[in-house]
Chains A and B, each alone.
Chain A
Amino acid sequence: MADSTSLPVRIWQFLTFRRGGKRWHWTDLFTYGYLGLGIFLMFGPVVWLVLSSFKTPAGLLEFPPTWAPLGQVVVEVEGYEKPLPMYRVTMEDGSTKDLAQIRRIGIISQMVDPAEPSTKFKIPIKQREPIREFRMAWENYLDPLERFNFLSYLTNSVIVTTLATLITLLINSMAAFGLSIYEFKGRNAVMLFVIGTLMIPITVILVPVYLVVTELGMVNSLWAVILPGAATPTGVFLLRQYMLTIPKDLIEASRMDKATEWQVYWRVVLPLAMPAIAVLAIFSIMWRWNEFLWPLIVLNRSEVYTLQVGLNAFQGELDVQWHYILAMTVVTLIPVVVVFTFLQKFITTGIASSGMK
């Protein structure tokens, strides 16, 4: 869509658009309704997650919940060790006063005026209303970095994603090169084999792969997550289909120039196959970053957890600390949002053209 029209005009066009003729058709209303509901249902939960992740534990406990992250105002009062929470109190005579609460006994709360700490008040709790201010609880994001293994989960996830993607790109593109450039005995058999492995998801071979990984001594190491999924049949298939379109003359010409096969592969064919490689790279990053079941099985010690496994462990604890979980979920989400915003076209084209994800 050419962006020659200005935004307000386009919004107006959008709002008044009708199918075909001049009169409203029921399908126009349906379209609006559906798209509106779509924005609400799809974005709403994520927005709610992000908003909630900035609330203090006390803020999260509030029912009904507030939209914005509000925290109760606290003040330092002379003679008291901890900062005291502020309340707006309706006094006997109907006037209102801002008081700090010292302690609460049953339905009576003991309060003090921060301006003159010597006088104390006894106020029924019905007459007080917490004073709140807009406050982002950044500590939800900062604490897990120090107090839990969160930083190591993050590092593990980054290591797994990076290494696995590099290995996948290397060996898949090599295989695709072998299958697309050469005519050799058994080529069709290998191709059939690749398509065959496409049909065997990890869910079907959990136990024996676990055995293989154990035999190789990789349980509780990141290699156990990186290696088993490195050779992806979808990747080989996607790259091969693309490499088949590269003109054979080009390869012959470089062989004439005394290029070795390895040089033909990485200096001639790979650069030409870059669009397909990019699609596979994005897919691989997504797969690895989001992988859950297999890491859950082979990683049993907290130091080697990836983000996904770590998050699951946190939410399964008896005393669920939602303020940390929400913040960590947001952190887990960020790379995906970044990748999606910048590379959306690659992803959608890749899916639409290959029918895989």
Chain B
Amino acid sequence: MNSELAEHSQFKDAETGQFNPKSLIIWPLSQLFRFLEWPMKRIQNLLGLGTMPYIFLLPNLCFFGLFVVLPLFVNFAFSLTGGTNLYLDERAFTGTEQYAFLLDCGNYADPLSCREDRFWKGLLNTAIFITLQLTFLVLFSLITALVLNKKIQARGFFRSVYFFPVLLSPVVVALIWKWILLRDGILNAWLVELSFDKILFFVSPAWAMFWAIFISIWAHMGFYTLIILAGLQAIPPDLYEAAEMDGTKQERIFWRITLPLLWPNLLVVIVLALIKGVQTFDEVFVLTGGGPGTATQFIVQYIYNTGFTNQIQNFGLAAAASVILGVVLFGLTMLQLAATRWKDNG
């Protein structure tokens, strides 16, 4: 990483005299640093060199403590209380009631038989979404990376063609596609041209789910393509040369050399995409609003609706659902760490 980053350090404006976008950020910061010089010197003289590392860590750790660690515990506390008050001391302790409510099902295969059917519908939708999205996301990222890894002209251009949607905001992505998919949108115009009937994409649950998956792949594919591409380029070229000399078929080279050597990278991509996929909210929320009905309502939207939009803000239930989501994500992250370790150690 470091050598690659260092390549860009010749971004020096002092020599070329050209506009340097970095300076926009550097200037205000350096003013701040200068301003802090005197107080920091006093602190160092007062407390000694030994405490300086703690001083440097302090602001960041305060933020972590206040906005990550404290909430993590408070979240658990929330999930054990009921009522509609936000402040914890005004909330009634209910023990594991919220969890019992969420997990109470007549038949776990059928979301409608559960007391909190929206939660289970959200889980089921997320599961369906993840299964399809992950499969095709990895598949298309792999194909794209393989194509981009060939000796094609203008590779940099094509790489950015597939990559740029990664930087678009989810809201923008959703609006771009909503405009295409509307009743009188361009896609329906083409369907009419080809003498099909118009399709009301946001009225049919299956179509809404299809487009949710499609758009999520469209928006994120470039990111995973880039990681896979880095993996492909790390495969030693002499392996391919040796195979060519032996007259090995392309298909065989792919299955016997490329895929086995790429597998660790692919595993990291799969787990990473899984972790992101479980938390899908933004694009789909703007595109379909979770509809029609609850056909594209995912688990994060369930938490959002329960805690923040419904008439009765049920913070306890939302917290309990997010604890469950947290447990799932924790498991997946452990998987990711294992995959990364496996990749790095070969």
Decide: A311 near B171, CB < 8 A? Known: A265-B56, A293-B282.
yes
Q: Which residue of chain B is the closest to A197 with respect to CB atoms?
A: B68
In the complex the two chains form, is B87's CB within 8 Å of A211's CB? Answer: yes
In the complex the two chains form, is A308's CB within 8 Å of B169's CB? Answer: yes
A241–B74 alpha-carbon span in the complex (Å): 32
B281 close to chain A: CB less than 8 A: yes
Decide: A261 near B88, CB < 8 A? Known: A211-B74, A289-B169.
no
Decide: A262 near B40, CB < 8 A? Known: A242-B5, A315-B286.
yes
Residue in contact with B175 in the complex, picked from A61, A184, A325, CB distance below 8 Å: A325
Decide: A17 near B50, CB < 8 A? Known: A263-B37, A293-B304, A333-B172.
no
Contact with A along B1-34 (1 / 0, CB 8 A): 1101111110100000000011001001110110
In the complex the two chains form, is B8's CB within 8 Å of A27's CB? Answer: no
In the complex the two chains form, is B168's CB within 8 Å of A333's CB? Answer: yes
Contact with A along B124-168 (1 / 0, CB 8 A): 000000000000000000011001001111111011111111111
Q: Which residue of chain B is the closest to A272 with respect to CB atoms?
A: B9
Interface-facing stretch out of B59-67, B99-107, B112-120, B205-213: B59-67
How far does the Cβ of B13 sit from chain A's closest Cβ, in whole Å? 12
Interface size class of B (residues with CB under 8 A): 35 or more
Q: Which residue of chain B is the closest to A260 with respect to CB atoms?
A: B41
Which residues on A sit within 8 Å (CB–CB) of B67? 209, 212, 227-229, 231
B200 close to chain A: CB less than 8 A: no
In the complex the two chains form, is A206's CB within 8 Å of B304's CB? Answer: yes
A265–B53 alpha-carbon span in the complex (Å): 11
Decide: A165 near B36, CB < 8 A? Known: A38-B158, A197-B69, A348-B163.
no
B179 close to chain A: CB less than 8 A: yes
Interface size class of A (residues with CB under 8 A): 35 or more
Which residues on A sit within 8 Å (CB–CB) of B56? 174-175, 177-178, 261, 265
In the complex the two chains form, is A205's CB within 8 Å of B71's CB? Answer: yes
A344–B157 alpha-carbon span in the complex (Å): 11
Count of inter-chain pairs, beta carbons less than 8 A: 309
Decide: A286 near B68, CB < 8 A? Known: A165-B25, A207-B75, A352-B226.
no
B325 close to chain A: CB less than 8 A: yes
In the complex the two chains form, is A207's CB within 8 Å of B319's CB? Answer: yes
In the complex the two chains form, is A286's CB within 8 Å of B8's CB? Answer: no
In the complex the two chains form, is B307's CB within 8 Å of A34's CB? Answer: no
In the complex the two chains form, is B156's CB within 8 Å of A38's CB? Answer: no
In the complex the two chains form, is A200's CB within 8 Å of B54's CB? Answer: no
Decide: A52 near B179, CB < 8 A? Known: A169-B29, A261-B49.
yes
In the complex the two chains form, is B44's CB within 8 Å of A38's CB? Answer: no
Q: Which residue of chain B is the closest to A285 with respect to CB atoms?
A: B25
How far does the Cβ of B49 sit from chain A's closest Cβ, in whole Å? 7
Decide: A65 near B189, CB < 8 A? Known: A200-B68, A208-B74, A286-B167.
yes
In the complex the two chains form, is A231's CB within 8 Å of B169's CB? Answer: no
Q: Which residue of chain A is the closest to B177 with respect to CB atoms?
A: A45
A58 close to chain B: CB less than 8 A: no
In the complex the two chains form, is A19's CB within 8 Å of B227's CB? Answer: no
Contact with B along A281-302 (1 / 0, CB 8 A): 1000010011011001100000
B78 close to chain A: CB less than 8 A: yes
Interface residues in A208-249 by Cβ distance below 8 A to B read 208-212, 214, 227-231, 233, 236, 241-242, 245
Decide: A39 near B161, CB < 8 A? Known: A261-B44, A261-B49.
yes
Residue in contact with B44 in the complex, picked from A52, A262, A357, CB distance below 8 Å: A262
Which residues on B sit within 8 Å (CB–CB) of A97? none
Which residues on A sit within 8 Å (CB–CB) of B185? 65
A290–B168 alpha-carbon span in the complex (Å): 7
A316 close to chain B: CB less than 8 A: yes
B295 close to chain A: CB less than 8 A: no
B289 close to chain A: CB less than 8 A: yes
* 28 chain-A/chain-B pairs, Cβ below 8 angstroms: A10-B153, A35-B158, A38-B161, A42-B162, A49-B176, A65-B186, A169-B29, A190-B61, A204-B329, A205-B68, A205-B326, A231-B60, A261-B40, A261-B49, A262-B41, A266-B33, A274-B11, A290-B169, A290-B170, A292-B171, A296-B304, A311-B172, A315-B286, A325-B175, A329-B175, A336-B168, A336-B172, A352-B226
Given contacts A1-B154, A205-B72, 13 further A-B contacts (CB under 8 A): A17-B153, A38-B162, A45-B176, A52-B179, A171-B63, A193-B61, A205-B68, A205-B75, A207-B307, A260-B37, A261-B49, A315-B286, A325-B175
Q: Which residues of A contact B (CB under 8 A)?
A: 1, 10, 13-14, 17, 19, 27, 30-31, 34-35, 38-39, 41-43, 45-46, 48-49, 52, 61, 63-65, 165-166, 169-172, 174-175, 177-179, 181-182, 184, 187, 190, 193-194, 197, 199-201, 203-212, 214, 227-231, 233, 236, 241-242, 245, 260-263, 265-266, 270, 274-276, 278-279, 281, 286, 289-290, 292-293, 296-297, 308, 311-312, 315-316, 322, 325-326, 329, 332-333, 336-337, 339-340, 342-355, 357
Q: Which residues of B contact A (CB under 8 A)?
A: 1-2, 4-9, 11, 21-22, 25, 28-30, 32-33, 36-37, 40-41, 44, 49-50, 52-57, 59-61, 63-64, 66-72, 74-75, 78, 86-88, 143-144, 147, 150-156, 158-172, 175-180, 184-186, 189, 192-193, 218, 223, 226-227, 229-230, 250, 268, 272, 279, 281-282, 286, 289, 300, 303-304, 307-308, 315, 318-319, 322-323, 325-326, 329-330, 333
Sorted nearest first, the 7 A-B pairs with minimum C-beta distance are A178-B56, A231-B63, A208-B71, A290-B169, A353-B1, A14-B153, A262-B40
